[in-house]
Chain A
Amino acid sequence: MTLPVVVIDYGAGNLRSVERALAHSGADVRITSDAASIEQAPAVVLPGVGAAADTMENLRERSLVEPIRDYIASGRPFLGVCMGLQALLEWSEEGGRQECLGIVPGHVAHFRASHLKVPHMGWNTVTWLRDHPLTVGIPQDSYFYFVHSFHPVLDDPAWALGETTYGVTFPSVVARENVVATQFHPEKSGTHGLQLYRNFVAWAAEEARAVPTADHAS
């Protein structure tokens, strides 16, 4: 069967692109801002683009902060994309000091080197630091499409799954237990990006078989 994947709708600009790429990757995509749908989902994707303050504000306004925390605590697969990664950190430098979800120990910092063009915009390589279901079939140092002015700084390097260099070397993919997130936009990264979505869907399906949820028992 096709795995239902819930994409959280909180007004993020890349919602439709993420939806299209997931659908192309074999998921049965459900767009929702409903806490109950998130609670029961076998897999959840948090998209995002733009500013950290807006993102957190929008999540709070829609009362989605606790449902996202609860979902992640349930142990089911979660994918954050771009701002959906940054929101997982404890806080962001963007717009002063913005409190975030606090799932990943660390914070989000601005690209500081003055000779760099910011945003970091375009195709850059990702170096895998270990094996993970998300990386299956994606060669080392493959190119992905980035657009961001801030980057994650991890307190616990064990979270880093992939890294990228733009002035500084930063974790461009984080992963631990049921949580994975990318700083780049896989939905805009051509073949390798779609492969990453396929890998997420396959991994989530595998997890769903191992631990059936009430919604998804089959």
Chain B
Amino acid sequence: MLTRRIIPCFDVDKGRVVKGVSFVELRDAGDPVELARAYDREGADELVFLDITASSDDRETVYDMVAATADQVFIPFTVGGGIRSTADMKRMLELGADKVSINTAAVDRPDLVNEGAYRFGSQCIVVAIDARAVQGADDRWEVYVHGGRTPTGMDAVEWAREVVERGAGELLVTSMDADGHQAGYDIPMLRAISDAVSVPVIASGGAGNAEHMVEALDAGGADAVLAASIFHFGTCSIGEVKQQLADAGLPVRPVTESSY
């Protein structure tokens, strides 16, 4: 049976993981490769790296990181942040990333989704959608870009439908309202988007505990849950989350001993 996926997310700046990760017995908690290996051992089903490097002069660092991760980690990983062209996508995929995630670049030029899907296949094109609830409406959400700072006036559910039609193979849906509060994912938004599209949806923003993840996967209809802080700060381990999901009747991949 296809399992629901648990996906730790790392913010990476100049090739280093930021947002103080306090994770078990790591010599260097800022080393993306070491962290990726640790989460792989813990049973992570996939990994997402979000590159927040501001200066294009420092962009080479992320390429080195992707290559080093691909050399040592044998589970799928996605890279997002700063990808603006099919040339950027090609480079990431050739270095070993399995998927690329685009957000602002897709809003700026929606054809980028078509071009990426045509050249590399839908399976490696993830569109990230950051959205906030529209004030006074309980069933509408507006797309934001530039890290959630800039409103676009676009409806998130409509945008989700459009990018899937254009060839996105997966959506990474972040609630900017819920993000950082650890009070749970935006379930109505997840449900609305998941019901509107035929591709897998990754829930993001708001995870504070395993119960929140159960809600996102169950009531929210998500196929995968992404989280950063609760894993990085040790609030709960991936194994604990998987146990709670299994107790709630959701299919999960059991944590197996990694031998590499």
Contact = CB atoms under 8 A, between A and B. Distances in A.
A191 B121 contact: no
Interface of A: 13-14, 16-17, 20-21, 24, 49-51, 117-125, 143, 145-149, 165-166, 185, 187-195
B86 to A, nearest CB: 13
Contacts of A121: 123, 169-170, 200, 223
Contacts of B4: 122
Given A50-B123, A121-B169, A122-B200, A143 B3 contact: yes
B18 interface: no
Contacts of B35: none
Chain A at the B interface: mostly helix, strand, loop or mixed? mixed
A7 to B, nearest CB: 14
Contacts of A24: 74, 260
Contact of B124 (A13, A149, A165): A13
Contact of B3 (A51, A117, A124): A124
Given A51-B121, A145-B76, A190 B256 contact: yes
Interface residues of B, number: 36
B224 to A, nearest CB: 7
Contacts of B95: 16
Given A165-B1, A190-B40, A190-B75, A17 B253 contact: no
Interface in B106-133: 120-124
Q: Which of B94, B170, B200 has the most CB of A within 10 A?
A: B200
A187 to B, nearest CB: 6
Contacts of B198: 117-118
B28 interface: no
Contacts of A120: 2
B93 interface: yes
A14 B77 CA distance: 12
A192 to B, nearest CB: 7
Interface of B: 1-5, 40, 45, 70-71, 74-76, 93-96, 98, 120-124, 169-170, 198-200, 223-224, 253-254, 256-260
A122 B98 contact: no
B200 A117 contact: yes
A85 to B, nearest CB: 15
A194 B2 contact: no
Nearest to B221: A117
A16 B121 contact: no
A79 to B, nearest CB: 16
A119 B258 contact: no
A191 B94 CA distance: 23
A192 B40 CA distance: 13
B260 A194 contact: yes
B96 A191 contact: no
B67 to A, nearest CB: 9
A76 B121 CA distance: 31
Contacts of B256: 143, 190-192
Contacts of B5: 122-123
Contact of A189 (B1, B74, B223, B254): B74
Contacts of A49: 121, 123-124
